[in-house]
Structure 1
C-alpha cells in the first residue's frame, strides 16, 4: 500500500479526475496543479497552479496523471518520461485510501459500461452497500460515507490502467479485447498489456474472470504460473438462467455475453437467481448503446452512437437483416472491417464525417456505399432510399458509427442526441404527409 500523506504532488490535468484528486489530497499534502490549458482552472484553484517553466525547480514525490493525457503526446513529454517512476493515476490514489474495501474492476474493449451498470443494479437491488465509479462517469475519489463493507464496482479504461502503479483489485474482469486505441497505445500488444495489468497486479487470493476462448489472455495468464485464480466463461455454453431473461436488451449478442459475466460475479457473492433475474428483466440499459428508439411493423431505428470501432458494431450487423447502416466519424488507427462474408449481403452503408476516404477504403469492396459530409444529409438520403424499397421486409436503420465523434461533435452523447433529434423530425414529417 502506498502512503499519500505529507507528500509533494503534481496533478497534471484538471478535468473531473484532477479536481477529485485535489479535493481528496489537499488536506494532508502539498499540491500543485498543471494543465495544458490553464484557462480551464477556476479562480479559486489558481493558488495551486504552477507554470510549466517552474515545474523542474520543484521536487515532486508523485505525479498524478489524468487518464486523457498521453505521456508521449503532451507539453510535459520530456519531463514525464524522465520521471516516469513517479507517475500514478487516480486509481492509485483511490487504492491508498480504500485498500481494505472489496473492489470489482471491469475492463474490456466493448461492453464495460453496460456490464458495470447492470452489476451495480443487481447488487443495489440485493441491498448491498455498493458504489459505481470510474470511467463510467463518476471519479473514484468522489464517494462519501464509505464503510468497511462498501463494495466498489469500477469501470477501468486502458488509459487509467496504463500508468497505474499500486492499484490492486479483488475481482478483475476482462470482458474482451479487440484492436482499439492504437492512436494512444501505438501497438496492439501495448494495448493488451495495459488491460492485463488489472490481472497481473491484483490482490492475493483475488479472482480473475475472462472468456475461455480468449487466446491472447490465455497465453499471458499461463505466464503467471497459477499466481492468480482464473474463472473462465464459455460464451457458447448452456446457461439455464438465460431462459428466464425476457429483457430483449440482454438476451442477444454482446449484452447476452455481458449478462454471463454479471451472473458469474453475482454468484461469487451468493446472490440468488431470483434476485438477479428481477433486476435483469427491468434493466433499461444505457443511452446510445444499441438502443431501439423507434419500432413499427416495417421499420426499426437503432441508436448505437457509443460505437467507436468496427468490432463494436459487429453485434448489430450480425443480428439484423436488410440494414441501412449509418457509419462514420474518425476511424481509429489500425481498425479494419473484418465482418464475415455471410453477413455482408444484408448491409448498405451510408458513410459520413471526416474520414470518408478511410471508411470508404475499408467498405467499398465489401458492401454498397454512399458518402456524405454529415449525418443530416445522410439521413435524408436513407429515408429516400427506404421509401423506394418499402415493399421489402422489415427495414433496420442502424446508427452505429464505428468511429470517434470528435470530428463533428463534443462526444458520442451529443452525436447520439443529434441523431435522435433528426430521426424524430424525419418521422414527424413522414407521418404528416
Structure 2
C-alpha cells in the first residue's frame, strides 16, 4: 500500500523485502524491486520501513543502520500521512484523533469511529486497526481521521500532530523492541510531540506510568489535558464509578451512561475506553446524549471479549486479542465461573500476576508452548488440564461447563500469550475458536 501511494504521488520507489515470498507477491502486484544493500543512496529522500523492522533493539536492522550512516531519515507510513496532511491548506486539513496505550487501543478507536458515524460525521478509521493509513480515502472538508497508533508506529513519526491525542494506559510490553520500560514509554509519548495550545491530550490515570504522563503534560502547559478513569472520581475529567460514566468536564459531575446498557463493552477496562471515547467526542463538538446513544449501539470488536454464542446457558467468549497477562486480567475481572482456555507462546512474566483472579476460574485448559509452565503456576490453586490444542480445550471446557451446575458459566478464550506457535496471528486463533464454537452450537 505504501509503495502504491508513493507511486501515485509521483515518487520514484526503490522497494525491497528480506522475505522472498513477500518479494514475489510484491512483483505480482507490479512493484519493481531494488536490492537496497547495493543501491545508490545519494538521492534517497527517506527510508520507509514496516513498523516491525527493528530500529534499536535487539539491534538496528542493517538497512536502518545504513540509512543513518547516509543521514537518510527513517520513517513509516504514519509519518507520510502526517506530512501529506500538514501540506494541505488550513481550511482543508482534517481533524486527527490518535489513540495509543498498551491495551484498549483498538476498542477505543473503533468506538470513537462508531460514535462519529452515528453523528453523521465524515470519518476515516485506520492505522494499526483495519485498513492501513495510506489506503484510506482522501479527506474532505471536516473529515476526522481516527488512528490507532502502536509504539512501533510512533517510533517512526516526526511531524504527526494530533488534534486529540489519547493515552489509555501503560504496562510492560514489547520490551524486546524498545529495550526497557523507559524506551517503551518514550515511544508512546511521541503521540503528544507536536501538539499546541489548540489541541487536547486525554490521559487515563489508572496506572502509575500514566499518572506520571498526566503530571508531565500538565506541567508543560502545552495543550489542554483531560483525565479519564475507570475506578475513581475526578475533579475534572470523565470517569466511571458505581456502574455509571460521569462527565465532570463542567462545574459539577453528571451521570451520562449506565454501563449495563453498553452490552458489548463489559469490564472496568472498557469503562475506561468508554470514558476516553466520550471525552474525545465531546471535544469534537458532539452532544452528550448522542454520544451515550451511540455507545449503547456499539457492536464491539472481534477477538475482544466477543460473545460468539450462548448454548444451554453457557456463554462462549472470544478474547484472542489478549496476548499478555495484563489484557487477560481485564477479561478475568469481567466474569465469574470461568472455564479458561489459555496458552500459546508465552511473554515475559507468565501468568503469576493473574493470581488475584484465580478464584473466578472453575478450571483452566492449557494449549501451546506455555501449557506446562502455566500448569505449574496454577498447580494447587486452579484445577487445570493440558489440552494441547484449541479444539481439545474447547471440547473439555464445554464438557465441564455443562456438568458444573453453575449459573451463567463462561468459556473464555483469553490466552495471555502470543499465537505464533500454533496460529498465524491472534485473529487466526480467534477465528478458529469462533468456527469451532459455532459448529458445536449448530451441531447441538
How far, CA to CA, are the matches of 1:330 and 1:215 in structure 2? 28
Q: Which residue of structure 1 aligns with residue 238 of structure 2?
A: none
1:63 aligns with 2:47: yes
- Deviation string 1:249-303 (CA, Å, 9 cap, x unpaired) is 2353222221111111111122112211221122111112101222245422111
Of 76, 93, 110 in structure 1, the residue corresponding to residue 63 of structure 2 is: 76
Matches of 2:375 and 2:39, distance apart in 1: 46
Choose from 18, 25, 34 the match for 1:40: 25
Given that 1:171 and 1:207 are in contact with CA atoms closer than 8 Å, whether structure 2 keeps it comes out as yes
Q: How far apart are the structure 2 equivalents of 1:137 and 1:57? A: 33
TM-score, length-scaled by structure 2: 0.84
8 Å contact kept, 1:331–1:403? yes
Go from structure 1 to structure 2 and tell me whether the alpha carbon gap of 1:94 and 1:46 turns closer, same or farther (over 3 Å shift): closer
C-alpha distance in structure 1 between counterparts of 2:71 and 2:105, whole Å:
28
Matched, 1:215 2:208: yes
Quote the residue 1:123 is aligned against. 116
Match of 2:250?
none
Q: Which residue of 2 aligns with 1:417?
A: 431
Structure 1 distance, partners of 2:198, 2:285, is 18
- Compared CA separation, residues 205 and 365, structure 1 to 2 (3 A): farther
Q: How is 1:202-351 mapped onto 2 (pairs within 5 angstroms)?
A: 202-223=195-216, 225-236=220-231, 237=233, 238=241, 239=246, 240-243=255-258, 246-250=261-265, 252-296=267-311, 298-334=313-349, 336-339=351-354, 341=356, 343-347=357-361, 348-351=363-366
In structure 1, C-alpha distance between the alignment counterparts of 2:347 and 2:39, rounded to whole Å: 34
Shift of 1:176: 1.1
Going from structure 1 to structure 2, the CA distance change for 1:409 and 1:73 (only over 3 Å counts) comes to farther
Q: SS of 1:254's equivalent?
A: helix
Residue 405 of structure 2 is matched in structure 1 by 391
Q: Is the 8 A contact 2:341 2:412 kept in 1?
A: yes
Alignment partners' CA distance in 2, 1:125 and 1:29: 37
* 1:406 equivalenced with 2:390 (yes/no): no
Pick from 179, 182, 198: which aligns with 1:189? 182
Match of 2:152, SS state, is helix
User: Which structure would you say has the larger RCO, counting Cα contacts within 8 Å and 6 or more residues apart?
Assistant: 1
Question: Structure 1 residues 251 and 417, CA, compared in 2 at 3 Å: closer, same or farther?
Answer: closer
Paired position in structure 2 for 1:5: none
Aligned residues: 409
User: 1: CA distance between counterparts of 2:346 and 2:377?
Assistant: 10
SS where residue 242 of structure 1 aligns? strand
Q: Are 1:91 and 2:78 an aligned pair?
A: yes
8 Å contact from structure 1 (residues 349, 369) kept in 2: yes
Tell whether the 8 Å contact from 2:309 to 2:316 is kept in structure 1 after alignment: yes
Q: Residues 89 and 395 from structure 1, CA distance in 2 versus in 1: closer, same or farther, beyond 3 angstroms?
A: same
Give the conservation status (yes or no) of the 8 Å contact 1:109–1:178. Answer: yes
Aligned match of 1:8: none
Separation (CA, whole Å) in 2 of partners of 1:181 and 1:395: 33
CA distance in 1: counterparts of 2:68 and 2:371, whole angstroms = 36
Distance of 2:322 and 2:395 partners within structure 1: 22
Partner of 2:417, secondary structure, is: coil
Calculate the aligned-residue CA RMSD, in Å: 2.4
Closer, same or farther: CA 331–411 of 1 in aligned 2, 3 Å:
same
Shift in Å, 1:427: 3.8
**SS of structure 2 residue aligned to 1:283:** coil
Aligned partner of 2:98 in structure 1 is 105
SS at match of 2:352: coil
Counterpart of 1:166 (choices 154, 159, 166) is 159
How many Å separate the matches in 2 of 1:24 and 1:415?
34
